Amino acid sequence: MKKIGILLAALFMAAAAPCHAGNAKIVIATGGIGGVYYYYGTQISEILSKNNVAPTTAIQTAASVDNMLLMRDKTNVSKNTYFFGTVLPDTAYYTFTGKHEKFAEKPAKACIMWMMYPNYLHVVTTDKSGIAKLADLQGKRVSTGAPGSGTEFTALNLLKAAAIDPSKFKKWEKLGAKESDEGLTNGTIDAYIWSGGLPTGSIVELSHTLKRQGLNLAIVPLDDSDPGVVNFKKEFEGLADSMVIPAKVYETAADTPTLAFWNMFMCPESTPEELVYQTVKAVFENLDTLHAAVKAAADTTAENTAKYIGKTAIPFHPGVVRYFKEKGEKGLIR
């Protein structure tokens, strides 16, 4: 009788637990160790595994472009193995449309699962540089970010939209965040472009350093009064959002309008609807766990994803639409 009881209990537990969606396997492509992508993706992996969505692992990668390549080339439908990934929106758009050189012959067929958190575009300078608008960068000494970085990709697209040729800068640097801060501090550059979270710690420190030199940090406003910004938003329709960097963040003279880009969690178009549905359901029913583990994930909310469905250049997966439609019908989101 004892054995029968144990067997019945096991059968009951198996029936009560969510089943793996078609016995699929998921691999989450993230970013470098130490970056938000890596920790975010690792936490999503744990949530999916613990909630029996599918056996899931997270791997370190070179981030956005690498992740789109993995989704495109390593997903194997016949083996029921799917690569998901964390991706910058402009990178996703260029790989999705084939405008990126590595995807010209074979664009990535991918879909959005949800919006993660925003990166804010910073055009950083000082109050004595004479740079008050995007067009003022012409003829100046400017850094557009480290080669191959997400910042560089965004910066060059912004300059193109504003009809600014970086090769005609007085000095064109391609520096990382730390080196850009040093350049502005030492007076070897006049401005630099950076895409990152709010606040970016290195810029907070830069603001303090500049004050000790009798200068004040300034962020160049990027709003719809600037034709370059309008062109950029048109190119990345639904992916670039108008937002504000409050003055208190970097102790600037005033609040600064800018553009923000939502980092996106994506999957191949070929991913089964049920697998995507169960994935999104598990994540959004365990947001407390995600938020507690990753600070930037505070912006991962049902509302922040729902407002973009049907409004982006890259489609949301049908499994996502199904989940959010159900939430809307139940009055859980508007």
Is residue 24 within 8 Å of residue 82, measured between CB atoms?
A: yes
Using the CB atoms, write b or e for 255-293: b if 16+ within 10 Å.
Answer: ebbbbbbbbbbbbbbebbeebbbbbbbbbbebeeebbee
Band (19; pLDDT cuts 50, 70, 90): very low
Rounded to 5 degrees, φ, ψ at 142 are: -135, 140
Q: Quick one: average pLDDT of 18-25?
A: 67
CA neighbor of 229 nearest in space, from 135, 148, 127 = 135
Mean pLDDT value of segment 299-311: 94
pLDDT at 115: 96
> What local confidence, expressed as pLDDT, does residue 21 receive?
58
How many Å separate Cα 293 from the centre of its chain?
17
What SS3 state is found at 296?
A: helix
| pLDDT value of position 334 | 62
Percentage of the chain beyond pLDDT 70 is 93
pLDDT tens digits for range 184-214:
999 999 999 998 878 888 899 999 999 999 9
Rounded Cα–Cα distance for residues 256 and 214 (Å):
21
pLDDT of the residue at 22: 63
Check residue 87 and report its DSSP letter: E
Q: Which residues face 261 on adjacent strands? A: 119, 240
267 forms beta bridges with: 111
pLDDT over 50 at 15, yes or no: no
**For residues 126-140, b (16+ Cβ closer than 10 Å) or e, as one string?**
beebebebbebbbeb
The partner residues of 242 in beta bridges, in order of sequence, read 259
Q: What is the pLDDT of residue 200?
A: 85
Cα–Cα distance list, 27 to 30, 266, 320 (Å) = 10, 12, 18
- Other CB atoms within a 10 A radius of the CB of residue 53 amount to 24
Which domains does the chain show, CATH number per domain? 21-116+263-329 (3.40.190.10), 119-261 (3.40.190.10)
